[in-house]
Amino acid sequence: MIGRLRDKGVFKPTLKDLFMLGLAAVAIVAGFWLINSAGFIYVRLVILGGLSGLPAARITQALVLRRWELTSGKKVEYDGLWSIKAQPWPDPRSV
């Protein structure tokens, strides 16, 4: 492309112009690589944080429900997938 422009006399690049063109190309490629690799690192960190948050949430729920059972004297039972109901503890003398 530059050769055709030079042959027509439209553009006669100097050494400085070619150097700046090369420097701009290197800067664009380096910037793309930096943004792309930073994105992959960020996505990995977000996935790792989310996956480590799931067991932490379940453990917290178990601790909160256990404390509530001890303070209220009622037992927590899971009724299906999403609902929780409280039942009184069975009397050990009746078993």
pLDDT in tens, 30-74: 988 888 888 788 888 888 888 888 889 889 988 988 898 888 888
Terminal alpha carbon distance of the chain: 93
- Whole-number CA gyration radius for the chain: 33
Domain around 86: 2-94
What residues contact residue 21 under an 8 Å CB cut-off, 6+ apart? 13
pLDDT-based confidence at 29, cuts 50/70/90? Answer: very high
pTM to 2 decimal places: 0.45
Number of domains in the chain: 1
Query: Residue 12 has what DSSP assignment?
Result: -
Nearest-angstrom CA–CA distance, 71 and 49:
33
Nearest-angstrom CA–CA distance, 24 and 21:
5
